[in-house]
Amino acid sequence: MHSVGVDLHKVNTQVCELDEAGAVAREVRVPTGRKHFAKLFAKRERLRILLESSTESEWVARYLEELGHEVIVADPGYAPMYPHRVRRVKTDQRDARALAEACRNGIYRRAHRCSEVHRRVRAQLAVREALVRTRSRYISIVRALLRSEGLRVRSGDASTFVERVGELQLPTHLEETVRSLLEIMEDITERLREMDHGLDVIAHSDAVVRRLCTAPGVGPVTAINFKAVVDRIERFSNAHRLESYLGLVPGEKSSGEKRHRGHLTKRGNTRARWLMVEAAWCVLRGKAPGTQGLAAWGNRIAARRGKRVAVAALARKMTGILYAMWRDGTDFDRDKLRVSRVVIRAA
């Protein structure tokens, strides 16, 4: 079987094909698109194709599999795939050859390919996040314009901001200035209501999401996103691996007798990490029911290291709790928290 390395990019893709003896059978650069891949790989004998995980990798892998080939999506951070890479000499042709050699010799680490259902959920959550951020940005702009005229909007939820602005007597010129933003915000709020209704349906129909929502500070959006990012809990052997996957563990640069632990690695899915941090803030501020034990644990760390460090530690601990709840099929039980033991370890 021939081995193929595909160095995939947004516009153009470099392809290197090796025969059974390891000699280069073909090297070509083509535009990234289905019709160009069809010209290369359709009606060919079965090939083993290796490509790196990226934004485009999933649809490319699915399309090549439809053409009858074996496709491997590899972790691009696996250094042994590029044994001959020199920092000053890096080209797409060299990378494609390295991928082909890694494919032929089996020197790669498979990247996880998310299920189609969870890929669609993650896409919906990405759109929702963009809408929320856009509305927040527009609210800040309108508030600033109102303040410049000595006007203030009463406090309230973001979904009612347009209504609260309508309670004010705006000067004519200011009303004309902010009208377009307010109209867009109304449309965004309506779209968000529709999306949140769909997420509520998912939360009520999915047993795992319902279970995760029993944890303090964890709502439907956080639970759904957590499940969609993790995809299958079995692929993590323990909670620490999941915490590391989400970038919630501190980075470390140690050598000899010197040990230095720095900021969070912030690897993995940004949205999942951000939502877990927000849940931790909610718990630390005591806004969620059943948080006394977790809040006390976090506040003890905050007294020694500050609130930012405490929130990061609390987000990491809550990730471990969600992992155990999903793995064991149990709801959150605050009586099972071993807070004193954790405090001693964290000291």
pTM here is: 0.84
Say which range, 95-109, 198-212, 245-259, has the weakest mean pLDDT: 245-259
**115-144 confidence digits (pLDDT tens):** 999 999 999 999 999 999 999 999 999 999
Residue 288 is predicted with a pLDDT of 61
Residue 125 is predicted with a pLDDT of 95
Looking at the structure of the chain, the number of domains it has is 3
Domain boundary among 43, 70, 105: 105
| 92 shares its domain with 181 | no
| 230 shares its domain with 134 | no
Residue 172 is predicted with a pLDDT of 92
| 130 shares its domain with 184 | yes
> Does 68 reside within a domain?
yes
Residue 258 is predicted with a pLDDT of 77
Range of the domain at 267: 209-346
Domain boundary among 162, 187, 205: 205
**43-99 confidence digits (pLDDT tens):** 899 999 999 999 999 999 999 999 999 999 999 888 888 776 666 678 899 999 999
| 244 shares its domain with 154 | no
| 170 shares its domain with 52 | no
| 13 shares its domain with 54 | yes
| 224 shares its domain with 260 | yes
> Does 27 reside within a domain?
yes
Average pLDDT score over the chain: 89
> Does 110 reside within a domain?
no
| 282 shares its domain with 239 | yes
Taking CB atoms within 8 Å and a gap of at least 24, the contacts of 21-28 are 22/101, 22/104, 24/97, 27/93, 27/96, 27/97
pLDDT at residue 343 tops 50: no
| 201 shares its domain with 220 | no
**99-118 confidence digits (pLDDT tens):** 999 999 999 999 999 999 99
Confidence of residue 294 (pLDDT cuts 50, 70, 90): confident
Domain boundary among 205, 224, 257: 205
| 247 shares its domain with 284 | yes
Q: How confident is the model over 5-21, as a mean pLDDT?
A: 94
pLDDT at residue 335 tops 80: no
In the sheet that holds 3-7, the strands lie side by side as: 24-31, 12-18, 3-7, 48-52, 70-74
| 290 shares its domain with 326 | yes
> Does 287 reside within a domain?
yes
**151-204 confidence digits (pLDDT tens):** 999 999 999 999 999 999 999 999 999 999 999 999 999 999 999 999 999 899
Q: Over pLDDT 90: what percentage of the chain? A: 76
- 97: domain CATH number? 3.30.420.40
| 179 shares its domain with 307 | no
Q: Over pLDDT 70: what percentage of the chain? A: 94
> Does 315 reside within a domain?
yes
Residue 340 is predicted with a pLDDT of 46
> Does 222 reside within a domain?
yes
> Does 135 reside within a domain?
yes
Residue 108 is predicted with a pLDDT of 93
> Does 111 reside within a domain?
no
